[in-house]
Amino acid sequence: MPTQEQPGLIVRQKSPENTEFPFASLSDWLIPTELFFVRNHFPAPDLDARDWRLRVDGAVERPIELDLDSIKSMRSATFNAVVECAGNGRVYYVPPKEGLQWQNGAVGNAAWTGVLLREILEMAGVRQTAREVLLVGADSGVVDTNRKTASPGPIAFARSLPLAKAVADSTMLAYSMNDAPLTREHGYPLRAVVGGWFGMAWVKWITHITVLEQPFLGYWQARDYFRWERNLGEPRLVPLTEMEVKAQIARPVQGARLITGQPYRIFGAAWSGEAPIRQVQVCTGDGRGWRDARLLEAERPFAWRLWEYIWTPEDVGQYKLRCRASDGAGRVQPDLQHSDFESYGANWIVPVEVTVVPEPQTYEAEFVI
Ligand SMILES: Nc1nc2c(c(=O)[nH]1)N[C@H]1C(S)=C(S)[C@@H](COP(=O)(O)O)O[C@H]1N2
Ligand SMILES: [Mo]
């Protein structure tokens, strides 16, 4: 059973800290930082901006070292972006999969400010031979001691981006979240924001960037956070990248009671990878098939989209509510779980079961004395 520690946050693991946003409480387009999910593989390092430096080296013309003030004095970029942990929804896998049993709250949308990674790379001068950019966090430890997946001693949290994504407008090194300095849990003083990609690419507490001429095959790239791809003969490993297209229902919650004849607002969020959400549909199981939900607010690249559908149930009974998103790249949320995604990318439709009850009757109470 998850324990409720701070009001609102669901603790999935105490140490290192892993906390989930209670998705049923979704109300705002931006998730306040105190309610934003935290996914840590190691204890969060306590970095002091006064002696923190960002080192950039590898296949560059001029290795550089920058302090936080000089990064903040560069031209800043701001955008809103949703980040979903690749393990979000793991609890819905059948049979169950090992790992933190996230429900649907390992996801959040926030405002990020920082500098484009491209501008930092330009300062160092990326060589023609460069293929990837490795982002290394200041946190480290030994993973899965005594297990088949054990790390070879202590390792850092490190992930690479293909050069094209590293220099895209959607990739920044952020020092601010929701208009305030990053908090320690979310990567103070500097973290990656990789629009459209699962959370493992959003490296926190960055201290070191290395430009690589070969694909990186580190632990978090090849032994964790990968999936299988079968289109080239034998299945092969590919590191996880883009998020999958997905809509989630925040309300009603599983087991809710709705009342006949009363309009109910089915409400949730939808997001995808590089492409924007095009449509969210809802099926309430009352025989009327899939109907369009209303997408709220304006579309913003890499942010999520809130949506609603007003349903007035007519008949009492049990109903399975479903939602399904599709995106501008033609991807549609699937009905069934993937077989090749290890324990990640859970985006298949998970129905919310509700009971519709009759309108309350006014009646006279009888008292037996
Ligand atoms: N250095 C470092 N960066 C990290 C991680 C980590 O454990 N260490 N976890 C990653 C994962 S798996 C996710 S889902 C996101 C979560 O970001 P958040 O904790 O700010 O919500 O951070 C990513 N960046
Ligand atoms: Mo994650």
Mutation choice for ligand 1 from 42, 176, 202, 225, CB with most ligand atoms inside 8 A: 202
CB neighbour class for 358 (10 Å; exposed up to 12, middle 13-18, buried from 19): exposed
Mark whether 127 and 39 lie in a shared domain.
Answer: yes
Mark whether 215 and 250 lie in a shared domain.
Answer: no
The pLDDT of residue 4 is above 70:
no
pLDDT at 233: 87
Atom of ligand 1 nearest to the CA of 38: 19
Choose one of 206, 239, 272: the last residue of a domain.
239
Ligand 2: distance of its center to the CA of 315 in Å? 41
CATH number at residue 58: 3.90.420.10
For residues 203 and 42, what is the distance between their CA atoms, to the nearest angstrom? Answer: 12
Mark whether 275 and 330 lie in a shared domain.
Answer: yes
Contact 307, 318 (CB under 8 A): no
* Confidence band for 315, pLDDT divided at 50, 70 and 90: very high
* Confidence band for 150, pLDDT divided at 50, 70 and 90: very high
CATH number at residue 316: 2.60.40.650
Section 183-199 average pLDDT = 98
Average pLDDT score, the chain: 95
pLDDT at 231: 85
pLDDT at 5: 46
Mark whether 267 and 327 lie in a shared domain.
Answer: yes
Query: Is 1 domain-assigned?
Result: no
Section 134-161 average pLDDT = 96
User: How do 180-181 and 132-141 pair as beta strands?
Assistant: unpaired
HSE-up (13 A, CA, CB side) for residue 329: 13
Mark whether 119 and 60 lie in a shared domain.
Answer: yes
Q: What's the chain's length in residues?
A: 369
Mark whether 304 and 229 lie in a shared domain.
Answer: no
pLDDT at 367: 58
Q: Which protein residues touch ligand 1 with a CB less than 6 Å away?
A: 36-41, 83, 85, 137, 139, 157, 186, 199-200, 202-205
Ligand 2: distance of its center to the CA of 113 in Å? 21
Section 80-102 average pLDDT = 97
Mark whether 152 and 63 lie in a shared domain.
Answer: yes
pLDDT at 11: 97
Sheet of 352-357: strand order equals: 257-259, 352-357, 317-327, 277-283, 290-292
Mark whether 188 and 314 lie in a shared domain.
Answer: no
Contact 204, 187 (CB under 8 A): yes
Query: Is 71 domain-assigned?
Result: yes
Atom of ligand 1 nearest to the CA of 84: 14
The pLDDT of residue 68 is above 80:
yes
Mark whether 320 and 348 lie in a shared domain.
Answer: yes
> Could you tell me how far CA 183 lies from the centroid of its own chain?
18
Choose one of 239, 259, 292: the last residue of a domain.
239
**Which H or E run contains 270?**
strand 264-271
Mark whether 221 and 108 lie in a shared domain.
Answer: yes
The number of domains in the chain is 2
pLDDT at 2: 45
pLDDT at 91: 98
> Domain limits at 98?
10-239
pTM value? Answer: 0.95
Query: Is 43 domain-assigned?
Result: yes
Report helix, strand or coil for 268: strand
Mark whether 66 and 126 lie in a shared domain.
Answer: yes
Cα angle for residues 334, 199, 136 (degrees, 5° grid): 145
For residues 174 and 91, what is the distance between their CA atoms, to the nearest angstrom? Answer: 31
Section 182-208 average pLDDT = 98
Choose one of 192, 210, 239: the last residue of a domain.
239
Mark whether 282 and 198 lie in a shared domain.
Answer: no
Distances (CA, A) of 216 to 56, 116, 210, 355: 16, 22, 10, 50
Query: Is 2 domain-assigned?
Result: no
* Confidence band for 8, pLDDT divided at 50, 70 and 90: confident
Contact 321, 284 (CB under 8 A): yes
Query: Is 303 domain-assigned?
Result: yes
Section 237-258 average pLDDT = 97
